[in-house]
């Protein structure tokens, strides 16, 4: 019964007592360990998973109450039950105040021992279950730093788990900033290759002339600058993963060499006469449509099929808006800590703007927006004002119109609501509001006076 939560540790300086308790509990299917003093008990606790400690109160050396204090300090999740002689019940009650789960009075009746112990074990099991569920929830919303609770992201997490341990090559596609590199790392660190290297190469960033020797290495004298032998990135990734980012930028000549390396599982350093075997998993990424590149003959079809054994397509942020609050919260926390600022949240209006934005730069853009906002924020909350003008601007106000159409508002009502909404956005700054509305300030004042007049006339709020 104690198998899934850990053993029961009995601490008593009288060996017979320990043995007796052990016998009773073992008979009920529990795993029991014995320690003859506090010091030995602490050693046991450090070595083995212990769910519950039953300790005598009066012992030579460390007293039961001290042991209790030490356990509660270093491993608060471990339950402690005190065993005490009749005369020291008050000490036992004191121990309860200090976090003991229960106490037993000597001479201990078998039924009391079993009842009290098993209740504590059940509670320990429950605590463990709660912890497990908590971890699970956490895991569902994030996977190796990749955050997301939307269906498309959960599908991505699932796919990562399933492909990680297979030897197949993976192609990750998705717009810029959707997290392709994060996913590549998650695959590597979930695979059997995790102890070998993850080597990222940005095919667009390395000059064409250098790319071959970067990837495959060279031997001394292969070309003018080759003063020594040099290992290539393929060799660096031996036993691990080579992440070829922006694979569409790989020149056709190198596409042929890459194809050969994948097919033959061997590479040849530039200028070398002999090939050497390599064991490398290839993960490639692109933000282009590689199938189209293939049709246009800019990318080799045979290589495309070799790389695209499994495709993981990352959704654009606008396709999974329900993840925005989660990402905002995480980035906010991270940026606030990094900047030592006490920014804790975001005004509803600001979050609404973020929910509405199109996010062409995806998660990277969102991260930058939050970083900027945290830097600008004056108080504990990020306000609409702290967001870039492009996000604060008119574009987001489609929602106001949708709402208005739903409620079938007359035109002057729409105008009123719209003006008030923009004013809210500018934090009451009429100058800025007039600018955003494309009217001069006098017109705005007049319209506001009209709104106010109307509301007063109708006994409205104002």
Ligand X SMILES: Nc1ncnc2c1ncn2[C@@H]1O[C@H](COP(=O)(O)OP(=O)(O)OP(=O)(O)O)[C@@H](O)[C@H]1O
Question: Quick one: which segment of 118-126, 179-187, 207-215, 415-423 binds Mg ion (CB under 5 A)?
Answer: 179-187
CA-nearest of 161, 166, 243 to 198 is: 243
> Residue 403 interacts with Mg ion (CB under 5 A)?
no
Spatial distance between the Cα atoms of 22 and 48, rounded to a whole number of angstroms: 17
**Residue 365 binds which one of Mg ion, ligand X, none, with CB within 5 to 8 A depending on kind?**
none
Question: Quick one: which segment of 214-222, 233-241, 255-263, 361-369 binds ligand X (CB under 6 A)?
Answer: 361-369
> Residue 315 interacts with ligand X (CB under 6 A)?
no
Spatial distance between the Cα atoms of 210 and 195, rounded to a whole number of angstroms: 28
Q: C-alpha distances in angstroms, 43 versus 39, 47, 49, 51, 71?
A: 6, 6, 12, 15, 11
266 near 276, Cβ under 8 Å?
yes
Spatial distance between the Cα atoms of 143 and 145, rounded to a whole number of angstroms: 5
Q: Which is nearer to ligand X, 44 or 321 (CB)?
A: 321
413 near 447, Cβ under 8 Å?
no
> Residue 174 interacts with ligand X (CB under 6 A)?
yes
Q: C-alpha distances in angstroms, 169 versus 242, 258, 263, 307?
A: 10, 13, 12, 6
DSSP label at residue 368: H
Q: Which is nearer to Mg ion, 180 or 269 (CB)?
A: 180
**Residue 146 binds which one of ligand X, Mg ion, none, with CB within 5 to 8 A depending on kind?**
ligand X
Q: Which of 22, 31, 180, 269 binds ligand X (CB under 6 A)?
A: 180
Size of the site for Mg ion (CB under 5 A): 2
Q: Which of residues 258-287 bind ligand X (CB under 6 A)?
A: 287
List, in sequence order, every beta strand (DSSP E) within 204-297: 217-218, 230-231, 241-245, 266-267, 276-277, 281-286
> Residue 70 interacts with Mg ion (CB under 5 A)?
no
Q: Which of 19, 40, 155, 181 binds ligand X (CB under 6 A)?
A: 181
Nearest-Å Rg of the Cα atoms of the chain is 33
Write down how long the chain is.
Answer: 462
**Residue 178 binds which one of Mg ion, ligand X, none, with CB within 5 to 8 A depending on kind?**
ligand X
**Residue 364 binds which one of ligand X, Mg ion, none, with CB within 5 to 8 A depending on kind?**
ligand X
> Minimum distance from CB of 213 to Mg ion (Å)?
23
Q: Which of residues 131-170 bind ligand X (CB under 6 A)?
A: 146-148
Q: Which is nearer to Mg ion, 214 or 246 (CB)?
A: 246
Question: Quick one: which segment of 21-29, 113-121, 139-147, 176-184 binds Mg ion (CB under 5 A)?
Answer: 176-184
Spatial distance between the Cα atoms of 421 and 451, rounded to a whole number of angstroms: 13
CA-nearest of 306, 177, 322, 187 to 247 is: 306
CA 189 to chain centre: 14
> Residue 181 interacts with Mg ion (CB under 5 A)?
yes
Which residue in the shown chain puts its C-beta closest to Mg ion? 181
Residues that bind Mg ion (CB under 5 A): 180-181
Residues that bind ligand X (CB under 6 A): 146-148, 174, 176-182, 287, 363-364, 367
């Amino acid at each position: 019964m104690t198998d899934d939560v850990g053993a029961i540790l009995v601490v008593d300086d009288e060996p017979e007592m320990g043995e007796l308790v052990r016998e009773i509990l073992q008979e009920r299917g529990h795993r029991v360990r014995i320690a003859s003093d506090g010091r030995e008990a602490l050693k046991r606790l450090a070595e083995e998973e212990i769910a519950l400690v039953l300790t005598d109160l009066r012992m030579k050396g460390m007293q039961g109450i001290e042991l209790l204090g030490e356990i509660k300090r270093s491993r608060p999740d471990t339950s402690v039950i005190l065993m005490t002689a009749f005369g020291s019940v008050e000490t036992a009650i004191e121990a309860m105040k200090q976090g003991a789960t229960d106490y037993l009075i000597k001479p201990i009746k078998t039924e009391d021992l079993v009842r009290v112990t098993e209740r504590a074990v059940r509670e320990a099991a429950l605590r463990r279950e709660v912890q497990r569920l908590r971890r699970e929830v956490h895991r569902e919303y994030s996977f190796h730093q990749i955050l997301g609770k939307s269906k498309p992201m959960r599908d991505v997490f699932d796919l990562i788990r399933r492909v990680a341990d297979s030897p197949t090559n993976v192609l990750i596609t998705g717009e810029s900033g959707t997290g392709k590199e994060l996913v590549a790392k998650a695959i590597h660190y979930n695979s059997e290759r995790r102890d070998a290297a993850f080597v990222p190469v940005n095919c667009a960033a390395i000059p064409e002339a250098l790319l071959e020797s970067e990837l495959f290495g060279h031997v001394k004298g292969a070309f003018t600058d080759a003063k020594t032998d040099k290992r290539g990135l393929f060799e660096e990734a031996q036993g691990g993963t080579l992440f070829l980012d922006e694979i569409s930028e790989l020149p056709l000549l190198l596409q042929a060499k890459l194809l050969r390396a994948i097919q033959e599982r061997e590479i040849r350093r530039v200028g070398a006469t002999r090939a050497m075997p390599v064991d490398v998993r290839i993960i490639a990424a692109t933000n282009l449509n590689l199938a189209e590149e293939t049709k246009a003959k800019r990318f080799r079809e045979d290589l495309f099929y070799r790389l695209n054994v499994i495709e993981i397509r990352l959704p654009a942020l606008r396709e999974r808006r329900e993840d925005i609050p989660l990402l905002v919260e995480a980035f906010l926390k991270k940026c606030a800590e990094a900047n030592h600022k006490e920014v804790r949240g975001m005004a509803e209006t600001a979050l609404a703007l973020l929910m509405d934005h199109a996010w062409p730069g995806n998660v990277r853009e969102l991260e930058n927006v939050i970083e900027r906002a945290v830097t600008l924020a004056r108080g504990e909350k990020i306000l609409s004002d702290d967001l870039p003008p492009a996000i604060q601007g008119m574009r987001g106000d489609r929602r106001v119109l949708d709402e208005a159409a739903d409620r079938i508002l007359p035109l002057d009502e729409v105008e009123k609501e719209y003006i008030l909404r923009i004013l809210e956005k500018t934090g009451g700054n009429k100058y800025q509001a007039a600018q955003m509305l494309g009217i001069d300030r006098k017109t705005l004042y007049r319209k506001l006076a009209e709104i106010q007049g109307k509301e007063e006339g109708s006994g409205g709020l104002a």
